[in-house]
Structure 1
Amino acid sequence: MVRRADEAVINVKKVALVVITGDRGLCGSFNNAMIKKADSRILELKGLGLDCTVISVGEKGNYYFSWKVDVLVDRFVEGGGFPTAKEAQMVADDVFSLLVTKEVDKVELVYTKFVTLVKSELDPTILTLPPLSVKGEVFYVNGN
């Protein structure tokens, strides 16, 4: 359950996972870690009785999820290497559309933290995006 600023309780029935992978094969451990984390989260959500949809960003994730018949994919986003602001806006618009039309109740982002070119945290993280109020203002779960 998620609380909005007006303290209304939202029962989560469907979750959107935004999974970000690479476009090339030279970062195999990165792509494998992202896909494994997404797969385990999808199984965990299904185990809780929740529906799940995926927004796949990146060629390797797109290829993987195109073969998964048991996973609903809302959108495949492909880039030509370095992502542009236009591509990021396309993902943000899709997430916003899913939330506003109430197709999903919660959005989670699967990503890794980039520190420097030499160091990065390869263990993927799942970040729950804050729910939106009816007016479109962002609030955290505790109402702040």
Structure 2
Amino acid sequence: MPSLKDVKTKIGGVKKTSQITKAMNMVAAAKLRGAQSKMEAFRPYAEQFHAAMASLSAGTGGARFSLMEVREVKNVELVVVTSDRGLCGSFNANILKMANKAVAELEAAGKKVSLVCVGKKARNFFRKSGKMRKDYVDIMGTFQMFNARAIAQDAAANFLGGEADEVRLIYGRFHSVAVQRPEQTTILPIKPIEGEVGGAAAPASQAVYIYEPSQEEIMEVLLPMFLNVMVYHSMLEVSASEHAARMTAMDNATRACKDIINNLTLIYNKTRQAGITSELMDIVGGAEALKG
């Protein structure tokens, strides 16, 4: 049975850990409010941008735009977006698991894979794989649109240079505070979005737009912007998901600390009682010996 001093020291250590996890939970909750509000404010913009691209690309096709060029896929680049920090449960592990599975499937199909890692967790995981082409670290805490633009432009340049025939984005999507799931989407080549807008199946109430300048000129400008929006949106989703996952993980850790403290307190009381009983038996035994 452990000594009273050892048990008391453990209880003190777990209490300090509980204070730390509780503070981290509160910090994550505060950061989540800001990250979630930014993400929810950007989602309508991304959806409207997607709708505008649907309207523009429905009748233009992709043959005349370099970012929409479809070719035989021999080289695939994966842009993996994770957080820079840990202590957020299995959030990063799930993204990395999906990325690792995608790499294995592509290589099994005879395709060459390269990686662009956004966030320290992705960089550290794939550092020794020999497939990492570029990494972006220490930006997920304070990223802005120019960070997403740099990542998108680098991926686009690699695609236009023929080094990659397809570019996929793997990130964690925020569904709720309790649910964050990894997702994979192809960002290059940008595929024409065949919608009802401007098509033969358009309803009578659907507005028909006349574009000035031409649709082709507008598409030349909007295609790189669309790529920027997709990357920035994924970074916003990862940021909100990270704080939500950390808040949940720290809440679970705090509750686990309380359970450990209760168990250690029970052990402490039992050990103390055993010590008192032993001392009483020694006293009683000595008294009986003196009587004899």
TM-score of the two chains, using structure 2 as the length reference: 0.41
Match for 2:161: what amino acid?
Answer: T
Percent identity of the aligned residues?
31
| 1:30-69 matched pairs, under 5 angstroms | 30-69=91-130
- Residues 3-55 of structure 1: CA distance to partner in whole angstroms, max 9, x if unpaired? x7339861100000000111111224111111111000000000000001000
Distance in 2 separating the partners of 1:22 and 1:75:
16
Which 4+ residue blocks in structure 1 deviate beyond 4 angstroms?
none
Distance in 2 separating the partners of 1:9 and 1:67:
31
| SS of equivalent residue, structure 1 residue 128 | strand
TM-superposed deviation, 1:119: 4.1
Contact 1:14-1:104 within 8 A present in 2 as well: yes
Contact 1:22-1:59 within 8 A present in 2 as well: yes
**Which structure dedicates a bigger proportion of its chain to helix?**
2
Distance in 2 separating the partners of 1:115 and 1:77:
25
- In the alignment, which residue of structure 1 is the partner of 2:192? 140
Contact 2:117-2:123 within 8 A present in 1 as well: yes
Match for 2:107: what amino acid?
Answer: K
* Cα distance change of structure 1 residues 141 and 50 upon mapping to structure 2, 3 Å threshold: farther
Contact 2:168-2:188 within 8 A present in 1 as well: no
Distance in 2 separating the partners of 1:28 and 1:68:
24
Contact 1:130-1:140 within 8 A present in 2 as well: no
Q: What are structure 1's unaligned runs of at least 5 residues?
A: 132-137
Distance in 2 separating the partners of 1:119 and 1:130:
31
| 1:1-144 matched pairs, under 5 angstroms | 5-6=62-63, 10-69=71-130, 72-80=131-139, 81-116=141-176, 118-122=177-181, 124-131=182-189, 138-140=190-192
Contact 1:79-1:87 within 8 A present in 2 as well: no
CA radius of gyration, larger in: 2
Distance in 2 separating the partners of 1:98 and 1:115:
32
Contact 1:19-1:54 within 8 A present in 2 as well: yes
Between the two proteins, the alignment pairs up a number of residues equal to 131
| SS of equivalent residue, structure 1 residue 52 | strand
| SS of equivalent residue, structure 1 residue 129 | strand
Match for 2:185: what amino acid?
Answer: L
| SS of equivalent residue, structure 1 residue 42 | helix
| SS of equivalent residue, structure 2 residue 87 | helix
* Cα distance change of structure 1 residues 120 and 102 upon mapping to structure 2, 3 Å threshold: same
Output the aligned Cα RMSD: 2.5
TM-superposed deviation, 1:129: 1.3
TM-score of the two chains, using structure 1 as the length reference: 0.80
